[in-house]
Structure 1
Amino acid sequence: METKKKTLKISFSTPKGGVGKSTMTALLSSVLHYRLGFNVLVMDCDFPQHSLANMRERDLKTIMQNDYHKRAAMKLYQSINKKAYPIISCKPEDALSKALEYVNQSAIEPDITFF
């Protein structure tokens, strides 16, 4: 009998701003993906700021403007044989359907999805 792997879903939530929800998500998803080898998906439900997606864009821009950072990023991705984990911006009420849509179109099913 074949068992289907279930994706672990993790969410940090509170109506209060500035308590570290995005920071905790970024740190945990990075450690789990880059250090421990899990396939991670991040749904950025921080509408309308989308701070995680914006942080990724800023980081990418910084990396692309600096040869040292470009080489370091290339070395990291080659050493772990993985790309950066996906970050998908969405509204909270659309998060589950958007995550499922992504999983259905992706060749790699996430082990862990952060909301």
Structure 2
Amino acid sequence: MVASPSDDDDAAMRARLKELSGALDSHRRAAEAPKAGPGVPSPNGMGQAMSLGFRVMSEFVAAVVVGGFIGWVLDRWLGISPAMLIVFGALGTVAGFWNVYRIAAQPTGPRR
């Protein structure tokens, strides 16, 4: 039986797929290997810590700003002085601390 051009293409594609699968497997093994030595923080751990820090900071600041804005709008609408600004600024601060507590109380480490 004579091999058709499509059979040659299939064989070439299978060979290329096998080569790419091998390269991908070796790349995955190299990426999973620990790169940091003892006493050297891993870049991934530093990035995760910075990400968590920015999240905590942004949630706290957002809660205070939103509380203050609501208080300011209510003061303007009701025509009273800084009473609502103080009340809602304090509530925003409490909400910000509560958000920080919730984030800090979450378990850390790898999930199972």
TM-score (norm 2): 0.25
- Greater relative contact order (Cα < 8 A, sep 6+): 1
TM-score (norm 1): 0.25
Q: Which has the higher strand share?
A: 1
